[in-house]
Copies of this chain bind each other. A is one copy, B any other.
């Protein structure tokens, strides 16, 4: 099944399963600097193709860093909004709650992604951001972002794109929640996660889930038992290997076929 030694060694580097020899450099913690211009995540959370002068200005966006322990909240529903947060390391979930206490995971965020956009409209956050593993974020005061994006066009454009991207992502989740069956949802979830991890230099077939079955279920509009059963079924079908939170995708195409069933007659 799993080479646990390998996986745990890899995890000490970056908390996700990676194949031997894979490019982990993008996330190694040795190169931490205060400036965006030197940040190895820049290409994920900042605009590309800036002049040196613009790069120097961009550095002012990040006021400081903050560490968030696993289980702690970065911000909470109702709190005053002041800043966006760029995730440097770690893994978050965001969730909203209804008045009667049900709650819904609205997303899982990893290194290079931005959280806090929900807070802009009412100057208060409308969801919780919870670290699913020890994390570090860059604090980007929003008034500073607005100020700077008036002067650096690429930054302005970038901010707009980040927000638009989130809108498009949520459209996709609505499609998933509104029209897919359990197996399709779980398959889409796994493919999405592994694709994002792969974009960060991790394996495209092996991953470690940072969230519980219950959190996956909440995100997918399913009960935890259904998520568990679906994993078991995929395993029975030889599509994935699942051992608790370790997942290895054996047959990516099969997963894709589940998400987008071919009409073949």
Contacts and interface: CB of A to CB of B under 8 A. Distances in A.
Interface of A: 96, 98-100, 102-104, 106, 117-122, 126-127, 146, 149-151, 153, 156-157, 159-168, 170-175, 177-180, 218-221, 260-263
Contact of A263 (B100, B166, B179, B180): B100
Contact of A179 (B104, B126, B171): B104
A146 B157 contact: yes
Contacts of A165: 121
Given A99-B260, A260-B98, A120 B161 contact: yes
A171 B103 CA distance: 11
Given A146-B156, A161-B121, A178-B177, A171 B168 contact: no
Identify whether the interface residues of A are mostly helix, strand, loop, or mixed.
helix
A174 B146 CA distance: 29
Contacts of A151: 150
A109 B118 CA distance: 20
A98 B179 contact: yes
Quick one: which of A102, A262, A263 has the most chain B CB within 10 A? A102
